[in-house]
Chain A
Amino acid sequence: MNMPANATPDSPLDSQALAPAVISAARRIYWSVRRELWESRAIYIAPLAVAALFLTGFLISMVHLPEKMRAALALNPMQQHELIAQPYNFAELLIMGTTFIVAVFYCLDALYGERRDRSILFWKSLPVSDLTTVLSKASIPIVVLPLVTFAVTVVSQWIMLLLSTAVLLGSGRSVEMLWTHLPLWRMSLGLLYHLVAIHALWYAPIFGWLLLVSAWARRAPFLWAALPLLAIGFVEKIAFNTSHFAAMLGHRMGGPEGAASTAGRMSMDSMTQVTPGQFLISPGLWVGLAITAGFLAAAVRLRRYREPI
C-alpha cells in the first residue's frame, strides 16, 4: 500500500474539488437495500430454490397429465377447475410460505447480526442515518420480498402452463380446458393484491415487532420475539380467563375479516374476497400500520443507543 506521495492531491483545494455535492436520500436508501441483498442472499435464493424444486416435481408429474385431463372431462366445471388449478395454487402457497419464513428470520437478524459481528461500527462510520438503515431493512419484508414472491410465482406458473401445453399438444390433446381454467393474468393480479394487502400491509406490524426485538435483544432474538407474546397470552388466560391477546395475534396472522377463513387453505379465488375498498377502511389495517410505525421508530432509537454486543 506504499504509494508515491504525488498520487494524492497535494493541496486541500484539489481534494475539495473532487467531492461531489450531495447524495440524495433515495440513493442512500437504494444502496442500503442493495447492501441487504448482498448480505442476505436467502431473500431471492430461497424462493428460487423452492420454485426450482417444485418445477422439477411438476415436470415429473407431467407423465400423468394426459390421463388427468381425460379424467377431468367427466367432472363438473367446479371440480375441473379445482383439479387443474390445484398445482398452481400449491406453487403459490409454497413460494409465499417460503418468503414469509425468510422474512421472519431476516427481520430477527437484521439489527442483531450487525451488533453481534460488530460491523455496526463500520456502517455507523458512514454518513447513513439510523432511520435510513432501519427503513431500508424494513423495506425487505414489506416491499422486496412481496415483489420477489410475485415475480417468482408468476414466472413459475407460466412455466407450468407452457410445459403442460407442450405436453398436451405433443400427445395430441386439446389445451382448451387447461387454458380456460387457468386465467393466469387474473390470477397474477389477485396474487399481487394479496401480497400487497396481506404480506406487505397487514403483516407489517409483525415485521416491525421482529425488527424491534432484533434491535433490542442481546442474545436469542427469536426467543425474545416469541416468548413475551406467549407469556402475555398465558397471563391473560390465568388472570382473567380471557384470550383477547391470543385472538388478536391470530387475527393478525390470519388476515383481515373475510380472509381469515382462508388462512388455512388459501385459494386464489378466496384471496380476493376482501375488496380493496373494504380492506382500506378496515381499522385493523390502520391500527396495524400505526403500530408498525411505533415499532420502527423504537428500533431506530435503539440502534442509535445500543452498543455492539
Chain B
Amino acid sequence: MTVIEARGVRKAYGTTIALDGVNLRVEEGRILGLIGPNGAGKTTALNAILGLTQYQGELTVLGRDPWTERDQLMREVCFIADVAVLPRWLRVSQALGYLAGVHPRFDRVKAEGFLAKTNIRPANKVRELSKGMVTQLHLALVMAIDARLLVLDEPTLGLDILYRKQFYDSLLNDYFDRSRTIVVTTHQVEEVQHILTDLMFINRGRIVLNCSMEEFESRYLEVMVHPEQLAAARALKPIQERHVLGRSTLLFDQVDRRQLAGFGEVHTPSIADVFVAVMTNQASQPQGAAR
C-alpha cells in the first residue's frame, strides 16, 4: 500500500521556491533516505507531509490530506525533528503520562522498557539530560507509538558517534518491521546507507534522483583505475573522478559492470560520493540526474 503520494507539490516562501513540483511515492515497509544540501527543500517536504505547512498540488499521506486532516493523521504518524524540540521543563514521567493520556497508540509499558535500558530516570527533567539522552528519550517515546509512518528530520544532529549508531540500531532492531515506513533526512549519509531501502536526492526543490537501494547498487559503480588505463576509463564518461594518493577513483552511472572490471576492482560507491557527483554535475550532465 502507498504511504505517501505526492503529485506536483509546490511550495514557495515569497519569491523563494522551496518545493518545485515534487512527485514521489513511498510504499509501505520502506526506509527512505531523503538527501539534499542545506536549503534543498527537505524540511519543507517533510513539513508538507506532516501537515505543518500548506502547499499547492496533490499530497496524500496514509490516504489523508495532511493539511486538513493533521489531527487524525498524527495518530498514525510520528516525527522527530532536529532533536531540540522536547521542552526543557518536561519530566520523563510527565512525558509518559501525557502521551498515554492523549495518544491512542502509545504503549507506556513499552516506552518504560526502552527507557530502562538507558540512564534516563522517570524523575529527570529534559533540561537535566545530555543531548544524546534527550534523543534517546524522544526515540523511546516515538518507538512506543504504534505508528505506520515515522518521519525523522536530522534525528542525530549533534550527537556523538556512539549515540548515532545506537539510534539507528534501536530503530532497526526494536521498531522497524515490514508494516512500518520510515522517512529520514540526514547529512550523515554514510551512517544510514546500510539501513535504507530507498534513496531520494533533492536539490533546489526538485527531486534529482529517486531509486531503490538495489537499483542504486546496480546503477552506480566505482572503480579505482590505474593511471595507464585512465584514458580508456574516461571514455566511458564517469560522472566523477577523484584523485587520492596518486590513484584515481572513477564513478560511473549505468555502465556495465563487466566493462569496468577490466580497469580494476569494481564496488558500490558510498551514497555520499554519488551525492556529491550528482549535485556537482546536475547542471552539466542532465542524464546523470534524470530520474
Residues of A within 8 A of B (CB): 1-5, 7-8, 10-12, 15-16, 18-23, 27-28, 30-32, 34-35, 38-39, 114, 117-122, 124-129, 305, 307
Which residue of chain A is the closest to B135 with respect to CB atoms?
Answer: A1
CB distance from B208 to the nearest CB of A (A): 26
- Can you list 16 A-B pairs, Cβ within 8 angstroms, ordered by A? A1-B114, A2-B166, A3-B173, A8-B174, A12-B179, A23-B102, A31-B97, A34-B98, A35-B94, A38-B89, A122-B86, A124-B50, A125-B81, A128-B71, A129-B71, A307-B53
Instruction: Please report the C-alpha to C-alpha distance between residue A2 and residue B184 in the assembled complex, in whole angstroms.
Output: 20
Pick the residue among B52, B78, B99, B118 that contacts A1 (CB under 8 A): B118
B40 contacts the other chain (CB 8 A): no
Instruction: From B2-10, B19-27, B103-111, B215-223, give the one contacting chain A.
Output: B103-111
Find chain A residues with CB under 8 A from B177 CB.
8, 10-12
B74 contacts the other chain (CB 8 A): yes
Find chain A residues with CB under 8 A from B74 CB.
124-128
B146 contacts the other chain (CB 8 A): yes
A18 touches B146 (CB 8 A): yes
Instruction: Please report the C-alpha to C-alpha distance between residue A4 and residue B174 in the assembled complex, in whole angstroms.
Output: 7
A19 touches B139 (CB 8 A): no
A35 touches B117 (CB 8 A): no
Binary A-proximity of B89-101 (CB < 8 A = 1, otherwise 0): 1110010011101
Instruction: Please report the C-alpha to C-alpha distance between residue A295 and residue B162 in the assembled complex, in whole angstroms.
Output: 48
Instruction: Please report the C-alpha to C-alpha distance between residue A28 and residue B88 in the assembled complex, in whole angstroms.
Output: 22
B117 touches A1 (CB 8 A): yes
Residues of B within 8 A of A (CB): 50, 52-54, 70-72, 74-75, 78-82, 84-91, 94, 97-99, 101-105, 107, 110, 113-114, 117-118, 136, 138-140, 146, 166-167, 169-170, 173-175, 177-179
Instruction: Please report the C-alpha to C-alpha distance between residue A4 and residue B116 in the assembled complex, in whole angstroms.
Output: 13
Which residue of chain B is the closest to A19 with respect to CB atoms?
Answer: B105
Find chain B residues with CB under 8 A from A117 CB.
87-88
Find chain A residues with CB under 8 A from B103 CB.
23, 126-127
Which residue of chain B is the closest to A41 with respect to CB atoms?
Answer: B89
B85 touches A122 (CB 8 A): yes
A118 touches B85 (CB 8 A): yes
**Interface pairs A-B: 10 shortest CB-CB:** A31-B101, A12-B179, A119-B87, A127-B74, A129-B71, A122-B85, A121-B85, A19-B105, A127-B75, A1-B170
A2 touches B117 (CB 8 A): yes
Pick the residue among B80, B81, B173 that contacts A2 (CB under 8 A): B173
**A127/B113 contact (C-beta < 8 A), A38-B94, A118-B85 known:** no
A-B CB contacts (within 8 Å), total count = 122
Find chain B residues with CB under 8 A from A35 CB.
94, 98
B87 touches A3 (CB 8 A): no
A118 touches B146 (CB 8 A): no
A127 touches B101 (CB 8 A): no
Which residue of chain A is the closest to B142 with respect to CB atoms?
Answer: A125
Find chain B residues with CB under 8 A from A39 CB.
87, 89-90
Find chain B residues with CB under 8 A from A5 CB.
173-174
Instruction: Please report the C-alpha to C-alpha distance between residue A178 and residue B104 in the assembled complex, in whole angstroms.
Output: 56
**A23/B140 contact (C-beta < 8 A), A5-B173, A5-B174, A119-B85 known:** no
A125 touches B78 (CB 8 A): yes
Instruction: Please report the C-alpha to C-alpha distance between residue A28 and residue B94 in the assembled complex, in whole angstroms.
Output: 14
CB distance from B134 to the nearest CB of A (A): 11
B102 touches A124 (CB 8 A): no
CB distance from B75 to the nearest CB of A (A): 4
CB distance from B21 to the nearest CB of A (A): 22
Instruction: Please report the C-alpha to C-alpha distance between residue A31 and residue B104 in the assembled complex, in whole angstroms.
Output: 13
CB distance from B97 to the nearest CB of A (A): 8
Instruction: Please report the C-alpha to C-alpha distance between residue A122 and residue B87 in the assembled complex, in whole angstroms.
Output: 8
Find chain A residues with CB under 8 A from B179 CB.
12, 15
Which residue of chain B is the closest to A30 with respect to CB atoms?
Answer: B101
Instruction: Please report the C-alpha to C-alpha distance between residue A228 and residue B200 in the assembled complex, in whole angstroms.
Output: 48
Which residue of chain A is the closest to B177 with respect to CB atoms?
Answer: A12
**A38/B91 contact (C-beta < 8 A), A124-B52, A125-B79, A126-B102 known:** yes
Find chain B residues with CB under 8 A from A118 CB.
82, 84-85
A3 touches B113 (CB 8 A): yes
CB distance from A9 to the nearest CB of B (A): 8
A1 touches B166 (CB 8 A): yes
A7 touches B174 (CB 8 A): yes
Instruction: Please report the C-alpha to C-alpha distance between residue A3 and residue B146 in the assembled complex, in whole angstroms.
Output: 17
Find chain B residues with CB under 8 A from A12 CB.
177-179
CB distance from A104 to the nearest CB of B (A): 20
Instruction: Please report the C-alpha to C-alpha distance between residue A32 and residue B71 in the assembled complex, in whole angstroms.
Output: 15
Pick the residue among B53, B86, B117 that contacts A119 (CB under 8 A): B86
Instruction: Please report the C-alpha to C-alpha distance between residue A30 and residue B97 in the assembled complex, in whole angstroms.
Output: 12
B102 touches A127 (CB 8 A): yes
**A32/B102 contact (C-beta < 8 A), A2-B173, A119-B85, A122-B86 known:** yes
Which residue of chain A is the closest to B167 with respect to CB atoms?
Answer: A1
Instruction: Please report the C-alpha to C-alpha distance between residue A88 and residue B248 in the assembled complex, in whole angstroms.
Output: 89
Instruction: Please report the C-alpha to C-alpha distance between residue A305 and residue B67 in the assembled complex, in whole angstroms.
Output: 10
Instruction: Please report the C-alpha to C-alpha distance between residue A305 and residue B50 in the assembled complex, in whole angstroms.
Output: 13
Instruction: Please report the C-alpha to C-alpha distance between residue A48 and residue B141 in the assembled complex, in whole angstroms.
Output: 34
B101 touches A27 (CB 8 A): yes
